[in-house]
Amino acid sequence: MNLKVVRSGKGLRPNTVVTFMSQKRELLDEAFAGDIIGIPNHGVLQLGEEGAIQVFRPIAGSVLLLGAVGQLQFEVVARRLEHEYGVKARITGSRFQVARRVTCDDPQELKRFIDANDHRMAYDAVDAPTVLVEYAPELRAIESNWPKIRFHALREHAGLVFQQRLEG
């Protein structure tokens, strides 16, 4: 489901949307103006905004992926989720080991890249498209096949582009 925050104009793509009726909750596929809905995030997005972890929303799939420098960072996040939000987290490994934000001067070429790689694409906290790969050689192969696409190792290198778009 795609949502739009009217005040800011920013779009959201929540993984789970629920409606509340008395004591009953139901998952929704669509909602209309005036509907009261809930969008659970259990603190993960907040921790991502703080920079404790990086949160990725895959294009294909509904499970949020977390990015961290090492195992200890995941353990800290799990502990914070439990103590600050009352949520017991079970963090499991992903097949992805490398994340790169992608940009391109040609919007059509960027769209072609995202569409061709949607099985390994996600959006980060500032909606920067990010390619996720299993191994560095896989990334090198993708880079050689897409010479117009720029691959950024750090969020700051690509994030400023997207932050300006959100503010501007």
Read off the pLDDT of residues 70-125 as tens digits, 9 standing for 90 and up. Answer: 888 888 888 988 888 777 888 888 899 999 999 999 999 999 999 999 999 999 87
Task: Please state which CATH number belongs to domain 98-167.
Answer: 3.30.70.3280
Confidence category of residue 154, pLDDT binned at 50, 70, 90: confident
pTM of the entire predicted model: 0.68
Are 98 and 139 in contact by the 8 Å Cβ rule? The answer is yes
Percentage of the chain lying above the pLDDT 90 cut: 33
Percentage of the chain lying above the pLDDT 70 cut: 71
What does pLDDT average to over the chain? 80
Residue at token pair 């990015």: 67
Residues 65 and 92: their CA atoms lie apart, in Å, by 10
Q: Where are the domains of the chain?
A: 3-38, 44-85, 98-167
Residues 150 and 128: their CA atoms lie apart, in Å, by 12
| Residue 166 pLDDT greater than 50, yes or no | no
Confidence category of residue 38, pLDDT binned at 50, 70, 90: low
Give the DSSP letter string of 95-152: S--EEEEEE-S-HHHHHHHHHHTGGGEEE-TT--EEEEESSHHHHHHHHHH-TT-EEE
> How many whole angstroms from its chain centre is CA 127?
7
